[in-house]
């Protein structure tokens, strides 16, 4: 039957970097509220904390002023354009108003982009009229998770001032993980992408995990005399934890060989035997009660 040859290697469970995120703020501010703890499961888009920063208010005021300037410039330009078409207005005045209008458009687009960066709703401000009353303007910036996963560390406290370079949360999703296996140089020629891999876990020997080789590193580790081979594993039950050591079998080839069930093998000390039925005839000598012999065949 077909028997798979395999290479037995050791390795380590690694985080899938596409499912890992260190989360911070794009603006500095003071921590107002924190909604999650270490170990909490969060979903993509969920708010983890909010920070307070008066720059948010300034950005909204800047947008309202830019919007007002844009609307005024647009009205004046359109009015002068109509007068010019009726041969009433001055071309010089039209040119100036056009330049003012184009400048106002750029200013408004810039202010709009700042609102997007600060996660401030523009639609709410479009009906805002009194720019002298800032109490209704948004003062808080939400910190949201870009991925679903578990909060493995929280590096902030309420009242702490954070910079835009501060890491606030570390979120990891371990539903898929990588296994980095160390393959010795003499075995490397037999390993390639797409080969089946099974894991042997000492913590649960009855749990079976299977994956495939996704990548064979092109850099040789001169100290270990090995090459890293990466395997993608479905870890929906999340029993494989990052940095856990594992042993694995990489199935490198399929061969048709003569095989027997394990139950057919008899062991005597260090020797192993297989009994085979043959057509050989064996003569057995039987003796009667008088001691006379008779030949029989078996």
For residue range 207-261, what is the model confidence (pLDDT) as tens digits? Answer: 778 999 999 999 988 888 899 999 999 888 888 889 999 999 999 876 777 888 8
pLDDT confidence of residue 286: 61
Q: How confident is the model at residue 118 (pLDDT cuts 50, 70, 90)?
A: confident
**pLDDT of residue 297 exceeding 90:** no
What is the average pLDDT across 256-284? 83
**pLDDT of residue 92 exceeding 90:** no
- Ramachandran bin of 243, using left for φ above 0, alpha for ψ from -120 to 50, beta for the remaining angles: left
pLDDT confidence of residue 134: 46
What is the average pLDDT across 261-270? 89
**pLDDT of residue 171 exceeding 60:** yes
CA 76 – CA 82 distance, rounded (Å)? 10
Which residue's entry shows tokens 């030949």? 295
Q: How confident is the model at residue 294 (pLDDT cuts 50, 70, 90)?
A: low
pLDDT confidence of residue 104: 92
CA 29 – CA 56 distance, rounded (Å)? 10
Burial class (CB in 10 A: 0-12, 13-18, 19+), 167: middle
Strand partners, 283: 297
Contacts of 129 (CB under 8 A, 6+ apart): none
| Pairing assessment for the beta strands 226-234 and 20-24 based on DSSP bridges | unpaired
CA-wise closest residue to 103 among 70, 61, 80? 70
Higher pLDDT, 84 or 79: 79
Higher pLDDT, 88 or 43: 43
Query: What tokens were used for 29?
Result: 């501010």
CB < 8 Å & 24+ apart, contacts of 92-99: 97/73
pLDDT over 90, % of the chain: 49
Mean pLDDT value across the chain: 86
pLDDT confidence of residue 239: 85
Q: How confident is the model at residue 110 (pLDDT cuts 50, 70, 90)?
A: very high
- With contact defined as beta carbons under 8 Å apart, do 156 and 38 qualify? no
CA 140 – CA 142 distance, rounded (Å)? 7
CA 250 – CA 190 distance, rounded (Å)? 9
Q: How confident is the model at residue 295 (pLDDT cuts 50, 70, 90)?
A: low
pLDDT confidence of residue 129: 61
CA 123 – CA 159 distance, rounded (Å)? 30
Higher pLDDT, 258 or 152: 152
Query: What tokens were used for 274?
Result: 């297989």
Higher pLDDT, 20 or 200: 20
Residue 134 CA to its chain's centroid (Å):
41
pTM: 0.66
Give the CA angle between residues 266, 268, 270 to the nearest 5°: 110
At residue 137, the 3 state secondary structure works out as: coil
- Ramachandran bin of 180, using left for φ above 0, alpha for ψ from -120 to 50, beta for the remaining angles: beta
Burial class (CB in 10 A: 0-12, 13-18, 19+), 25: buried
Strand partners, 24: 167
Backbone angles phi, psi at 237, to 5 degrees: -80, -5
pLDDT confidence of residue 116: 86
């Amino acid at each position: 039957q077909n028997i798979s040859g395999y290479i037995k290697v050791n390795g380590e469970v690694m985080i899938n970097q596409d499912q890992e995120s260190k989360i911070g703020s794009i603006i500095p501010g003071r921590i107002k509220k924190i909604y999650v703890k270490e170990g909490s499961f969060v979903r993509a888009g969920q708010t983890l904390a909010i920070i307070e920063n008066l720059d948010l208010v300034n950005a909204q005021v800047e947008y309202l002023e830019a919007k007002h300037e844009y609307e005024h410039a647009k009205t004046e330009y359109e009015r002068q354009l109509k007068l010019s078409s009726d041969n009433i207005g001055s071309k010089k005045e039209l040119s100036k108003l056009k330049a003012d209008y184009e400048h106002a458009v750029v200013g408004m687009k810039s202010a709009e982009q700042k609102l997007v960066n600060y996660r401030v709703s523009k639609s709410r401000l479009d009906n805002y009229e009194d720019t002298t009353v800032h109490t209704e303007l948004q003062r808080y910036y939400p910190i949201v998770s870009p991925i679903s996963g578990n909060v493995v560390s929280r590096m902030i406290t309420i009242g702490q001032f954070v910079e835009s370079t501060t890491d606030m949360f570390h979120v990891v999703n371990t539903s898929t993980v990588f296994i980095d296996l160390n393959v010795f140089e003499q075995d490397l020629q037999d390993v390639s992408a797409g080969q089946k891999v099974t894991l042997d876990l000492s913590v649960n020997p009855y749990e079976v995990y299977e994956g495939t080789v996704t990548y064979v590193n092109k850099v040789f580790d001169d100290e270990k005399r090995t090459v890293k081979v990466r395997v993608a594993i479905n870890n929906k039950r999340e029993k494989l934890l990052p940095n856990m050591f594992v042993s694995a079998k990489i199935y490198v080839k399929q061969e048709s060989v003569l095989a027997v069930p394990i139950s057919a093998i008899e062991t005597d000390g260090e020797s192993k035997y297989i009994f085979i039925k043959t057509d050989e005839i064996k003569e057995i000598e039987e003796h009667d009660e008088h001691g006379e012999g008779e030949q029989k065949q078996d």
